[in-house]
Amino acid sequence: MAVNVYLDFNATAPTRPEVVTAMVAILAAGGNPSSVHQAGRTARNRVEEARGSVAQLLGCKAPEIIFTSGGTEANNFALSCFPDRPLFISAGEHDSVLAAAGPRACHLPLHSNGLLDLVALTDLLDAADGPALVSVMLANNETGVIQPAREIADIIHERGGLFHCDAIQAVGKIPIAFSELGADMMTVSAHKFGGPQGMGALVLRDGLAVPPFIRGGGQELGRRAGTENVAGIVGMGVAALSAKKGLDDYSALAELRDFMEARLLEISPESNIYGRNAPRLPNTSAISMPGVASELQVMSLDLDGIAVSAGSACSSGKVKASHVLTAMGANEEEAGSAIRISLGWSTTDAEIGRLIESWTRLYQRKSPKFAA
């Protein structure tokens, strides 16, 4: 059965039609934005217009934005900027931060509700060998838990440190103002809010000096060489304007998400909703079905034409429990029975009804509670 209920917006949002239209026009026009002739100047204007549109969504200055090939590159860029500083990251970070940080990083603990342990953060920074670089995501991609970024920034800055905030999952779902978060660096990804895949940005606080991430040209003020992806940048800019207009629609999804969770808990009272008692993105739910593997849930829902994500990942045929949920205190069995349901601007009441019906049928077939 073809997927016709898409509830995996946190993995990637559908590309907005207006983005496709704008990108096709740019691809047809051509032009290198580094060229001085008319075609080049036109392309440069399109890039800078898009930079301004993205800045409106992010609440930052346009020159603070460095366009990248996506969120993963932006995270790698940010964590490479200060290799001599002690590095701290939260235990619930995305794999692109975990891998970029590598073994030199100290992992900061989470409370059972998914929020960062600020006492531990303070103690570890006080004991660090010099001012640190700290990376904490604004909103978790699996649970939707929103961290108190401003409070975290203040703790870091009081100790002379720098704060990188991965805001990839939050952009377009909640209002964001880079100037108010207190971050020194912030990363975003276009396809999470309806833009093209393969486009992202690193936002650098005005005055923060960083070495070039890619060398070979003067693009992006000398910090990221290479001919700009004009069509992708324009698409990101168009998506940013649409996402800004649609923030109220995303806020309204909380009511639908809460209804869904209440119904699923009525069906399976032993289920757990991770991060439920913390501030969360309005569209995200990470819920367990005890005794039923997350992969089985994803496949069963997929057969019913419903797309969600697993709360754990498969690698080389082996099931690996979600590091986010285990950092929140879940054991491997609990983490291995969770799925992520993420709503979006096109989600309807009827679609949530279909999810509840399909999830209920699976629960009644497979849950140990109903075993003969």
Which residues have a catalytic role annotated? 314
Coil, strand or helix: which one is 297?
A: helix
Give CA separation, 310 vs 72, 96, 263, in Å.
20, 18, 20
Amino acid at 248: D
Residue 73 and residue 188: Cα distance in Å, rounded? Answer: 10
| Helix/strand/coil for 299 | helix
Residues 6+ apart with CB under 8 A from 353: none
- The DSSP result for 229-293, as a single string, is -HHHHHHHHHHHHHHHHTHHHHHHHHHHHHHHHHHHHHH-TT--BTTTTS-B-TTEEEEE-TTS-
Q: Which three-class secondary structure state does DSSP give residue 182? A: coil
Separation of alpha carbons 251 and 247, rounded Å: 6
Nearest to 145 by CA among 169, 121, 163, 122: 169
Extended beta strands in the chain, E state? 5-6, 65-68, 87-90, 105-108, 133-135, 162-166, 185-189, 200-204, 284-288, 306-307, 309-310, 313-315, 318-320, 338-342
Torsion sign across C-alpha atoms 35, 36, 42, 47: positive
Sign of CA dihedral 261, 371, 310, 308: negative
| Contact (CB, 8 A) for 147 and 175 | no
Q: Is the dihedral of CA 116, 262, 288, 305 positive or negative?
A: negative
Q: 204: exposed, middle or buried (C-beta count within 10 Å: 0-12, 13-18, 19+)?
A: buried
